[in-house]
Amino acid sequence: RKEVEQDPGPFNVPEGATVAFNCTYSNSASQSFFWYRQDCRKEPKLLMSVYSSGNEDGRFTAQLNRASQYISLLIRDSKLSDSATYLCAAYPGGYNKLIFGAGTRLAVHP
């Protein structure tokens, strides 16, 4: 089983929609979680860190559910410019290596 797993999608949503992605992790000792955004043929860039208490940045909300071992990303009022691949990442078990999921592709259409 992969340490970090995501639904690859694609999620096709209209502009203005709310969309949510989940990402599960297998190591209960995992610490520190992140959401990255990756545009086509570009490098990943940090979108948000995920804190135990949850965090929000404008239209984006990230949450951590330790009991069920998943993190989530909620995007409200989707824009065309949100079309990208969203990657979740975690440090499993305290090791200083950052492991990524396979990514979830989002396509926002007019």
Partner 1 sequence: NAGVTQTPKFQVLKTGQSMTLQCAQDMNHNSMYWYRQDPGMGLRLIYYSASEGTTDKGEVPNGYNVSRLNKREFSLRLESAAPSQTSVYFCASSVGQVGTEAFFGQGTRLTVV
Summarize as ranges the residues that interact with partner 1 (CB under 8 A): 6, 8, 31-32, 34, 42-46, 49, 87, 89, 91, 94-103
Name the minimum Å distance from CB 52 to partner 1: 12
Name the minimum Å distance from CB 101 to partner 1: 6
Nearer to partner 1, 12 or 18 (CB): 12
Nearer to partner 1, 16 or 94 (CB): 94
**Separation of alpha carbons 83 and 85, rounded Å:** 7
First to last CA, the chain: 37
Name the minimum Å distance from CB 102 to partner 1: 3
Closest CA to 88 of 69, 103, 68: 103
Nearer to partner 1, 18 or 31 (CB): 31
Nearer to partner 1, 6 or 63 (CB): 6
* Helix and strand counts by DSSP (H, E) for the chain: 0, 11
Beta strands in 19-83 (DSSP E): 19-25, 31-38, 45-50, 55-57, 60-65, 70-75
**Separation of alpha carbons 59 and 14, rounded Å:** 15
Name the minimum Å distance from CB 16 to partner 1: 28
